[in-house]
Every structure is written in C-alpha cells, then in structure tokens.
C-alpha cells in the first residue's frame, strides 16, 4: 500500500514538472524568443522541502498578497524561497510565475535587481529561489512603519531613487530587444539592503511584466492590473499601456521616498502643503539641483523657498 502511494506521489510530481516545464517554455518563446541567456538552476522537490524544513512557518519572512517568502538554506548558504498563492485567480489579472522566472532571470545580471538563482517546477505552481540578503527590508516597511524603520538620510534616499530608476531603465531598454513594462512598481516590490551604513535598492517581482510587440508603441488591455495610486491615468481609464505607465508609478514611488508617506495620503490630505500638486513643485525644485544632491550636499536646500524646508522638516530628519 505504501509503495503504491509513493508511486502515485512520484507520478504527480512528474506530471507537475512536465506541465510547468511546458508553460515555462511557452513563456520563454513568447517573451524571450525562446532564449534564456542567464544560467538558471533547477531544484528538486526534495531540495525545496529540506531548504524550508517542510515549509516550517517559523521560516516565513514575508506574507504578500500574491506569494509567501521563506528563508531557506541550500548548500550552506541562506536563500529566499518564493511560493505563489491564488495563482489561477492572479492569472486572470495577467500575473504569471512563469513571467517572473523568464524576466527575472534576464534581469538578474543587474545590481539593482534581486537575483534569481533558480526554480523548482515539481510543485503545483513553480517555486522561485532568490538570493537572500541578511540585512534588508521592503521599502514599504520604511514608509508604513516609520517608528520601527528609520528612513535613511536625504543622501541615501536619493541613492535609493537612482537605484530604482536604473533597474527600470534596464527593464525598458536593455533586457530584451523590445520594451518590457513592469506594471507593478510599488513599495512592496523594492528591497532595501543595508550594508555598512550604505543602502542598495533592488527591484523584484516581475510576474506582471508585459513586453510591447515589435513595431508597436503600446498595448491596449481590457483588464487593468496594478496597485491603486500607482496606476497611470491613461492605463487606469483606457488600458493604454506604455513605458510611461512605469514612469508614472516611479514618480509616485519618488514622492513616497522623499516624504516618507504612503501614496494614499497625497490624495486624501486636505493640508495644501501636503497635496500632490505641492509635492510636484517640490520635486521639480529638487530635480533642478540634482547635481548637488548627487554629491550628497543638503545645504543647497537652504537657498530655496521656506515652504520646502517646512515640509522637509516634517518628513525628514536631515
């Protein structure tokens, strides 16, 4: 009886491997012209079980709407193991773990992207294995829990913003022969790594990515996917998707980084000094002095309008 059960279990694992392998190949053909230029390891069913200690709940480091992250150990080193949930429901909105693998693998060469080490195709849904950074937090933790996670200095906020911009630019112009749109640039998809008082931002979660076909300038989608407040108006209302959709989301991220506030407060706050339009003008002023900011000089802010200083004092300890 036990022998029959093991044979049935092995058959099921092989079925999942074949089915997921087929879907991944289809994604690679559709998205990457059938090529994956980055070496990607495949892990066995046993590797994942052992790495997570049978998915021990004490190993969970993050619960997200689409997935759960575990800290695991493989070959003596820590790794981050990503298990998807509600996959069929998410697929209806355009999210796919196979897209996460295909684009994530191509993006892993960039220093501002969380490196994808490999995947396991022997479960019902693919499981991804990423590098594990020992001293890190999601950008969302810095913004939503300021009492627990002190925001970095002004100099390093600019560094974080530039890191994210570099990763997005690489996604749009380099990773494939055609532009790839992330579609979910949010606080939860940015990992902040702290190393010897330095900050490094890394982009992650490519499951919602779409590429613009050759010869086209945009995509027209019937179903709009994304996070409230980060959706570009033309995409939210008409399903009109271009690289500018990510640029809009990046702008919202930038406001969050500069002010230390959740995006919803930009739209709900009745205080004019905190309104989205006021923040836009502040951002414009800051961009005008970007060379000085890159050198880490905060003194230049003293030469600008006192309202800028008032708002900065409310949101940052320089």
Which of 248, 252, 183, 250 is closest to 212 using CA atoms?
183
**DSSP secondary structure code for residue 40 in this structure:** -
| Matching fold, domains 2-131 and 136-315 | no
The domains of the chain are located at 2-131, 136-315
What is the CATH superfamily name and number for domain 2-131? Phosphorylase Kinase; domain 1 (3.30.200.20)
- As a whole number, mean pLDDT of residues 264-271 equals 60
Pairing of strands 116-120, 240-241: unpaired
CA angle 243, 248, 249 (to 5 degrees): 100
Percent of the chain clearing pLDDT 70 (strictly above): 72
Predicted confidence at residue 11, as pLDDT, reads 46
d(CA 210, CA 189): 16
d(C-alpha 112, C-alpha 117), whole Å = 15
CA distance 285 to 104: 35
136-315 architecture in CATH? Orthogonal Bundle (1.10)
**230-to-151, 170, 252, 282 alpha-carbon distances in Å:** 21, 20, 6, 19
- Based on the residue annotation, tell me whether 269 is a catalytic residue of this protein: no
Q: How far is CA 266 from CA 235, 246, 251, in A?
A: 20, 19, 12
pLDDT for position 296 = 44
pLDDT at 82 over 90: yes
Q: Of the given ranges (59-73, 78-92, 118-132, 261-275), which has the lowest mean pLDDT?
A: 261-275
Q: How confident is the model at residue 284 (pLDDT cuts 50, 70, 90)?
A: low
Find the catalytic residue in 66, 100, 163, 184: 184
pLDDT at 272: 46
Q: 61-70, 82-91, 108-117, 175-184 — which is least confidently predicted?
A: 82-91
Q: What is the pLDDT of residue 304?
A: 41
Q: Which pTM does this prediction carry?
A: 0.79
pLDDT of residue 92: 63
Backbone phi, psi, residue 58, to 5° = -70, -15
- Tell me the pLDDT band of 58, cut-offs 50, 70 and 90: very high
pLDDT at 198: 83
Query: pLDDT for 1-26, tens place per residue?
Result: 444 334 344 545 577 878 877 787 77
Q: What is the pLDDT confidence band of residue 30, given thresholds at 50, 70 and 90? A: confident
Distance CA 225, CA 95 (A): 9
Q: What pLDDT does 317 receive?
A: 42
Mean pLDDT of the chain: 78
Least confident of 19-23, 108-112, 284-288: 284-288
pLDDT tens for each residue of 174-221: 888 889 999 999 999 999 998 777 889 999 999 999 999 888 889 999
Report whether pLDDT(288) > 70.
no
**pLDDT computed for residue 318 by the predictor:** 37
């Amino acid at each position: 009886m036990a022998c029959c059960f093991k044979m049935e279990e092995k058959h099921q694992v092989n079925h999942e491997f074949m089915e997921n392998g087929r879907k991944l190949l289809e994604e690679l053909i559709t998205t990457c012209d059938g090529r994956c230029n980055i070496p990607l390891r495949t892990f066995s069913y046993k590797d994942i079980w052992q790495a997570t200690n049978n998915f021990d709940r004490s190993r969970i480091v993050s619960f997200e709407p689409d997935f759960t992250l575990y800290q695991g150990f493989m070959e003596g080193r820590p790794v981050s193991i990503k298990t998807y949930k509600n996959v069929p429901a998410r697929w209806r909105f355009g999210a796919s773990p196979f897209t996460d693998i295909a684009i994530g693998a191509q993006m892993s060469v960039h220093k501002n992207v969380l490196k994808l080490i490999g995947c396991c195709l022997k479960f019902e849904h693919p499981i991804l294995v990423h590098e594990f950074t020992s001293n890190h937090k999601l950008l969302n933790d810095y913004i939503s829990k300021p009492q627990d996670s002190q925001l970095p200095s002004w100099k390093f906020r600019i560094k974080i913003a530039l890191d994210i911009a570099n990763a997005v630019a690489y996604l749009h112009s380099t990773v494939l022969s055609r532009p790839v749109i992330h579609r979910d640039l949010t606080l939860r998809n940015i990992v902040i790594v702290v190393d010897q008082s330095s900050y490094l931002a890394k982009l992650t979660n490519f499951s919602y990515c779409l590429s613009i076909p050759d010869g086209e300038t945009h995509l027209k989608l019937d179903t709009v996917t994304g996070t409230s407040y980060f959706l570009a108006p033309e995409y939210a209302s008409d399903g009109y998707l271009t690289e500018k959709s990510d640029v809009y989301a990046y702008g919202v991220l930038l406001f969050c980084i500069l002010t230390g506030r959740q995006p919803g407060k930009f739209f709900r706050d009745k205080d004019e000094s905190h309104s989205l339009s006021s923040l836009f003008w502040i951002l414009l002023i800051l961009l005008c002095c970007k060379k000085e900011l890159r050198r880490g000089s905060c003194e230049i802010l003293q030469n600008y309008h006192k309202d800028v200083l008032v708002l900065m004092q409310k949101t940052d300890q320089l």
